[in-house]
C-alpha cells in the first residue's frame, strides 16, 4: 500500500514541469530531494514511472496510468483539506491552462489576470498554442477551445457562442471589390490557415454552399492570418471572437454578411469533474460568466 503523499505530489509536479530540475524550482526544493522522493515512490511501487535521459523525460506505460490516478487522488486530498481546514472559500495552488494563441491573448489572459486578483493565492500557467494539447500528457488542468473533443475522458463545458465571418480590409476591397456571392471567391486572394494550397469554405443556409478557394497566403498561425487581413493581403475566415473588435472599429469589413458560416461554440475542457480541484472549478465558473457577458455580436 502506498502511503506517500509527498511522493505523489512530487511525481505530479515533475510530470507537469517537464523535468526534475524544473519541478525542484517550482516546489522550492533541492534537486536531490525531488530525485529521492521520485526514486522512493518507484521503489514502493516496484515499477519505473519515468524514462529519463539528460535531455528529456517520458512517462512509461505504467507511469501514464499511474499519473492519471495520482491527479485524481491529489484533487480529492486538496478538496478534503479545504473542507476540514475551513478554507472552502479560499482557493490556492497552480492551474495550468492552454488556449489558442489569438483567443488567449485577446480574451483569456485578461480574464485570468482578473481571476488572479480575486484569488491571489492561485498561480496560473498559460500555454498559448493553436495545437491540440493532450491534457494528461502535458499535465494541463484546463483547455479553452473552439468545439469539444471526441476524447470521452474529458468534460466539455460550453462557455460562449461562436460563429465565423469572412473579412477583409477596406484597402483590399477598394482594390479588388467585394464579392456578392460565395462563387466569386475563386477570383479573390484568400488567406488560409494551414499548409494547404486549396481549401473548401462551406456556407450554411436553406441551400448550403461549398466553394473551393485558393490560397494567396497560408499560415499555421491564426494571429498571422489576422495580421495579413489587416494589411490588405486578402480575405480571411475568422472566428468572431478574433475579429469582432476590428469589425466594430472599421479596421476590417465583413465580406458576404448574408451567407452564414457556423462554428463550434467555445468550450472549457478538463478531465472528469468528479475530482475537479476547487481552483479549476472556480476558474471555469469565472470564465463562463466573463465570456458570457463579453459576447455581444449578433449572428
pLDDT in tens, 18-36: 788 878 887 778 888 888 9
C-alpha distances in Å from residue 215, one per residue of 78, 212, 230, 239, 289: 51, 10, 16, 18, 38
Q: Is the pLDDT of residue 104 over 90?
A: yes
**pLDDT at site 55:** 64
Residues 6+ apart with CB under 8 A from 50: 14, 15, 38, 57, 58, 59, 60, 63
- Average pLDDT over every residue of 168-195: 94
**pLDDT at site 177:** 95
- Average pLDDT over every residue of 184-207: 90
**pLDDT at site 1:** 47
pLDDT band at 137 (very low <50, low <70, confident <90, very high): confident
Instruction: Identify whether the C-beta of residue 213 lies closer than 8 Å to the C-beta of residue 201.
Output: yes
Q: Which of 55-59, 123-127, 224-228, 280-284 shows the lowest mean pLDDT across its residues? A: 55-59
pTM for the model: 0.69
Q: Which tens digits make up the pLDDT trace of 209-255?
A: 899 999 999 998 889 999 999 999 999 999 999 999 999 999 999 99
What count of residues does the chain have?
A: 299
Here the cell at position 27 is: 516546489
Q: Which residue has the higher pLDDT, 44 or 147?
A: 44
Helical pair 109-118 and 278-294, crossing angle rounded to 10 deg: 130
- Phi/psi for 79 (5° steps) reads -65, -45
Q: What is the DSSP string of 201-251?
A: EEE-SSS-EEEEEEEEEEES-HHHHHHHHHTTS-EEEEEHHHHHHHHHHTS
Amino acid at each position: 500500500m502506498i502511503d506517500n503523499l509527498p511522493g505523489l505530489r512530487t511525481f505530479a509536479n515533475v510530470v507537469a514541469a517537464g523535468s526534475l530540475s524544473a519541478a525542484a524550482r517550482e516546489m522550492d526544493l533541492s534537486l536531490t530531494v525531488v530525485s529521492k522522493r521520485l526514486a522512493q515512490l518507484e521503489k514502493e511501487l516496484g515499477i519505473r514511472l519515468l524514462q529519463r535521459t539528460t535531455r528529456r523525460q517520458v512517462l512509461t506505460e505504467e507511469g501514464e496510468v499511474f499519473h492519471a490516478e495520482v491527479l485524481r487522488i491529489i484533487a480529492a486530498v486538496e478538496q478534503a483539506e479545504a473542507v476540514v481546514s475551513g478554507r472552502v472559500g479560499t482557493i490556492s495552488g497552480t492551474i495550468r491552462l492552454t488556449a489558442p494563441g489569438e483567443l488567449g491573448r485577446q480574451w483569456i489572459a485578461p480574464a485570468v489576470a482578473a481571476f488572479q486578483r480575486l484569488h491571489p493565492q492561485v498561480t496560473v500557467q498559460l500555454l498559448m498554442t493553436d495545437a491540440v494539447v493532450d491534457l494528461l500528457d502535458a499535465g494541463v488542468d484546463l483547455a479553452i477551445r473552439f468545439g469539444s473533443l471526441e476524447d470521452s475522458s474529458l468534460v466539455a463545458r460550453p462557455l460562449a457562442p461562436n460563429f465565423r465571418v469572412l473579412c477583409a480590409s477596406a484597402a483590399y476591397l477598394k482594390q479588388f471589390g467585394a464579392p456578392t456571392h460565395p462563387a466569386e471567391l475563386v477570383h479573390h486572394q484568400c488567406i488560409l490557415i494551414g499548409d494547404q494550397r486549396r481549401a473548401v469554405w462551406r456556407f450554411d443556409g436553406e441551400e448550403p454552399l461549398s466553394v473551393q478557394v485558393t490560397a494567396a497566403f497560408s499560415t499555421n498561425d491564426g494571429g498571422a492570418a489576422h495580421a495579413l487581413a489587416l494589411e490588405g493581403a486578402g480575405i480571411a475566415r475568422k472566428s468572431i471572437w478574433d475579429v469582432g473588435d476590428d469589425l466594430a472599429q472599421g479596421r476590417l469589413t465583413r465580406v458576404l454578411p448574408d451567407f452564414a458560416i457556423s462554428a463550434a461554440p467555445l468550450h472549457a475542457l478538463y478531465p472528469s469533474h468528479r475530482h475537479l480541484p476547487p481552483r479549476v472549478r472556480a476558474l471555469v465558473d469565472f470564465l463562463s460568466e466573463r465570456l458570457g457577458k463579453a459576447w455581444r455580436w449578433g449572428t
